[in-house]
Each structure stands twice: as C-alpha cells, then as structure tokens.
Amino acid sequence: MRLVSRKAISKTASAAIIVIIIIAIIAGGLAWWQTQQKAPTTTSSASPTSTTKTSTTSSATATTPKISVIKIGLVEPLTGKYAVFGLEAKEAAQLIVNIINNELGGIKSLGGAKIQLVVQDAGETPDDARLAAEKLITQYHPTIIIGAYISRLTAAVAQVTEQNHVILFMDGLVDSLTQHGWKYVFRVAPKASAHGKSAVDFVLDMAKKKGLKIKTAVVLHEDSIFGTYTAEGAVLELRKNGVEVLDDISYPDSITDFSSIINKVKADNPDIIITIPYFHDGVLFAKAVQAANIHPMFIAGAGACGYTDPDSIKAAGKAVLWYTNTYSYNPYRPTKWNQKIVKMFEEKYHKLPTEAAGIMFYTMMTIYEALEKAGQMYPSNPLNADNLRKVLLSLDLTDNNSIAAQLYPTGHIKFAPNGDNLYAGTAVLQVQMINGKEVPVLVWPEPQPGVHPVFPRPDWHGSGSG
C-alpha cells in the first residue's frame, strides 16, 4: 500500500510540474509579445519625454530658479529717542512693499516673486544695531538690508553686512560711511556735508534776492559724526562765500538745557544761525530761542532731523515758525509717482512724509528696479551679492525710465563705485503759517506752486552786522 501510494504521488507530482512549466512558458511568451508590442511607444515617446523632463528640470535650476519670496531686512531705531525716524521709515517701507507686491505684480523677471520685509529694532547704540543685523542675517538670510538712519548705528550694521556679503542700502548720511572701501554698501540719499552746504546756499540765495548782506554766522550741531560732518559742510560753504563763522558750537545728544549756548549766541549776535539738530534737541533749541527773544536775520536747519517735520512741529508749535531744514526728499515734487505715493502715505498715516519716509520710498523702489534687472542680467543667480552689486552699478535711473527717480529730488540716480549717488540732491522745507496752522512747505530750490519763502524772519530787528 505504501509503495503504490508513493508511485501515485510521484506520477501526480510529475504531472503537476509539467503543467507548471507549460504555464510558465506560455506566460513568458505572452509577456515577451506584449513587450514587443509596446517597444515602439517607449522608444519614440516615453524616452524623449523623460529626456525632456530632465532637461527642463536642469534648465530651470540653471537659468530660472524658482524664487517665490525675496527677503529684505529693515534695521531701524524703533524704540528710544530716535524712534520717531525709525517708525516712519518702517511705515514707508511697508507701504512700498505693498505697492511692489500688489500693484506692480512683484518682481516680474523672477516670475512675480514677492518682497517680504523682515524687521529688527536697531535700538539706540551701535551694539544694539550690530546685534539686530546679526539676528536678521542668521534667522532670515535677507538678500538686502536697509538701515539704520542714525549714522553710528548704520556703521555698526555695515560692518556686519560687509562680513556676510549682504548688500546694505544705507539711510544714514555721514560722508565717511562710503569711504571705508566697503564693497556691498549703497546710498541713494545725499551725504551729510551736502545738507550743510545746501542750508547755506539757500540762505545766501535768499539774501541776494532780498538785497541783504550776510557777514556773520554761528553754527550749532549735535556732537555725533552726523552733526559734525553736516556742520563741516556748512562751515566750508560759509567761509567759501566770505561769511565769518563766529562760533562752531557742538553739544551732546543728551542735552537737556540750552541756556549756556543761548547766552553764547546772544553775545555773538550773528546775522544767521545754521543748526544741525535731531528731533529732541531741535525742539529744545527752538523753544529756548523763543524764550530768550533772539531775533537773527534767519535760522536754517540742515540734515532733516528736526524743525520742519510734522512731529517736530507738533512738539514745538510756534517756536519753529519760519525755520527751514534741508531734506533728502521732496514730498512736493510734481511727478506722477511721487504725488501718488505721498497721497497714499497721507491717507494711511495721516501725516506728510518727510525725511525718513522719503529716503525709504526711493531706496525701496531702487531695490525693486535692481531686482528686476538682476532677473534679466543674471537669471541663474539673480540674488547673489556680487551680481546685485554689478546690477546696481549699471543702473542709470531718470524720471523717464524709473519710479525711483520720480521719487528723488534731482530725478536722477546713478551709483559711483563707492556706492554714493552721483546725482544726489536736497530740498529745503520751511514752516509757514497757513490757514492758522503751522505747515511745512517747499521753498527751495523751486518753491511749490503758491508758496513764497519767508526771508528774512519777520521778527528780525535788523540788528547785527547785516
């Protein structure tokens, strides 16, 4: 029984094996036939498609990288005694970013990439500003940084951006900021000494038109590097024009009492006073002059950090009436884009944009136009700092081809190798009484329609050497 059973099993197993082999042969033959039927499709279609996809991917990586967001860092004094400037700069930057992203369609040469503003507080000290720049670069890796309005803070930021090969657009005005041989710094705004020169040129121009002779002057300035450079520009221009500088007085930015300076000015009895203030000291000085009944032929500010900005007028009231100040921005310039952006700013923030906002307007728009050109000139690596530097040095922006230029006092932006604008210029605003309210108006180089400079000061007693 056991032997028969084994034979039966052996026959059955052999039959099964033969069946399996036959099935495998049939299946293999069918698979081979199917493969042969599909082979032409694979060769003529799938293979080229696969090759094309690889080529497209390679091309996109090499020539048109996918960039959806471009981070721009903003380091400004948002707290402390300089916050009045930093906060206005931030407001202006946010306004321009919204225009670029929503109205202009982002950076079109980079597929409509949007600008993202990343902000840090520069505080009040160079150490604060340096740490803010380091934090921005470490956490956000911005393509460009803008800052930091106060020149000593800007210098601290520049040291960090230079070490990290990040483009820095400076809104600090001290001349020396572009004299260190730094490779990655740019400044659209006019330098500090140009403000001092402009303040003097305005006063001399007005005196000539009125038939008045200016013989003596006193120059006052806050003792920062900004105040010093601006004052130097004023002193050089005064002496160049034969005006005797009776005193060149500096004071600390922490000043709380102008009594001793006022006594010195009274003793000097100058024809004119040229002053380089920030916000806090400008308000104090104007009130001290008012209280002391000092009445020179004219008092002119330089450097756009006090007297004629809306916040200074609010704080000082009639004490700043007839004061002038030079500005790196002309809010009354009658170009299409300037009028449009000023209106948008006033509607959103309920005040006239002045120095801090104006510098940010044309700086942000210069960056926008540079990024557009970078996408065209360097499609494979548009955000590289060295490529961006080459793009910026190639720009030649005018009212006819540029939004940024329409926002600039001279209507022309072109960078020198050190990063300064070759066509930098200023405007002069004056506080006048209009409809019973102190208002800043444009008086020089060309007054706005319906406005005339008030010169000399109406309370001038005609005393002094003039």
pLDDT in tens, 163-173: 999 999 999 99
Q: Which of 162, 93, 210, 157 is nearest to 389 (CA)?
A: 162
- pLDDT score of 63: 53
Distances (CA, A) of 405 to 94, 371, 398, 426: 19, 16, 5, 14
CATH tag for 69-190+334-413 (out of 3.20.20.100, 3.40.50.2000, 3.30.830.10, 3.40.50.2300): 3.40.50.2300
Question: Which residue intervals of 244-325 are DSSP H helices?
Answer: 259-268, 279-292, 310-316
**Integer Cα distance of 218 and 226 in angstroms:** 18
Contact, 390 vs 382, CB < 8 A? no
| Start-to-end Cα distance in the chain | 145
**Integer Cα distance of 350 and 228 in angstroms:** 33
pLDDT exceeds 70 at position 374? yes
What residues does each domain of the chain span? 69-190+334-413, 193-327+435-444
CATH code given to domain 193-327+435-444:
3.40.50.2300
pLDDT tens, position by position, 397-440? 999 999 999 999 999 999 999 999 999 999 999 999 999 999 99
pLDDT exceeds 80 at position 273? yes
Q: Which amino acid is at 458?
A: P
- % of the chain with per-residue pLDDT over 90: 77
Q: Which amino acid is at 94?
A: Q
Element (H, E) at 165: none
**Integer Cα distance of 325 and 48 in angstroms:** 69
User: Higher pLDDT residue, 458 or 40?
Assistant: 458
User: Looking at residues 29-58, what average pLDDT do you find?
Assistant: 34
Average pLDDT in the chain: 87
* pLDDT range class, residue 134, cuts 50, 70, 90: very high
Q: Which amino acid is at 285?
A: F
What predicted TM-score, i.e. pTM, was given to this entire model?
0.79
Pairing type for strands 397-398 and 216-222 reads unpaired
**Integer Cα distance of 280 and 224 in angstroms:** 14
